[in-house]
Amino acid sequence: MNKLTHTDDYGRANMVDVGHKPPQRRQAKAAGTIFLSSETIELIRKNEIKKGDVFTVAQIAGIQAAKQTSNLIPLCHPLAVDKADVMLQLTEEGVTAQSIVRYAGKTGVEMEALTAVTTALLTVYDMCKAVDKDMRIGEIRLIEKVKEDVQ
């Protein structure tokens, strides 16, 4: 089994030293879903949620979260993200969110992509909680992680 990278020889938390690694172009995609009642889905479709435009607010929240990931996850490196986007789609079951994050540097951006999706879905929850008490967030996952050498 591989050794955990975020612990030292004594099992204590450790921020990985990436100083020796060459910069690479990196991209990560993540996705997740919030399951909603049919009534809530219809309110979102008609833009009748009292807090406002659910998709716009959730998209902005997700993008902002990607840029703030190192403030939330203690051992993440602070990154100057090159691109972060969140796309939301209304489905028969609720709302799906997908994120894409790009960065050229020494560490991956999968935590930023996952944080973007999670925050976007939590924002949908916050905006709809007055009308739907049975919402459920799930299926959050990393879809893709890519890295290529910088030329």
Q: Spell out the domain ranges in the chain.
A: 35-144
Q: What is the pLDDT of residue 6?
A: 72
pLDDT digit string (tens) for the chain, length 151 residues: 456 677 777 878 877 778 888 889 999 999 999 999 999 999 999 999 999 999 999 999 999 999 999 999 999 999 999 999 999 999 999 999 999 999 999 999 999 999 999 999 999 999 999 999 999 999 999 999 999 998 7
- Rounded Cα gap, residues 89 and 93, in angstroms: 11
Whole-number pLDDT of residue 98: 98
| C-alpha dihedral sign at 135, 70, 27, 18 | negative
Q: Residue 59 has what pLDDT?
A: 98
Burial class (CB in 10 A: 0-12, 13-18, 19+), 22: exposed
Which position has the token pair 């050794």? Answer: 3
**Burial zone of 65 (CB within 10 Å; 0-12 exposed, 13-18 middle, 19+ buried):** buried
pLDDT at 2: 58
17 is a catalytic site residue: no
User: What is the reported pLDDT for 22?
Assistant: 87
- The span from the CA of 1 to the CA of 7, in Å, is 15
Choosing from 9, 53, 126, 134, the catalytic residue is 126
Task: Output b/e per residue, 24-33; b: 16+ Cβ within 10 A.
Answer: bebbbbbbbb
Asked if CATH classification 3.30.70.640 holds for the domain at 35-144, the reply, yes or no, is yes
pLDDT recorded at residue 62: 98
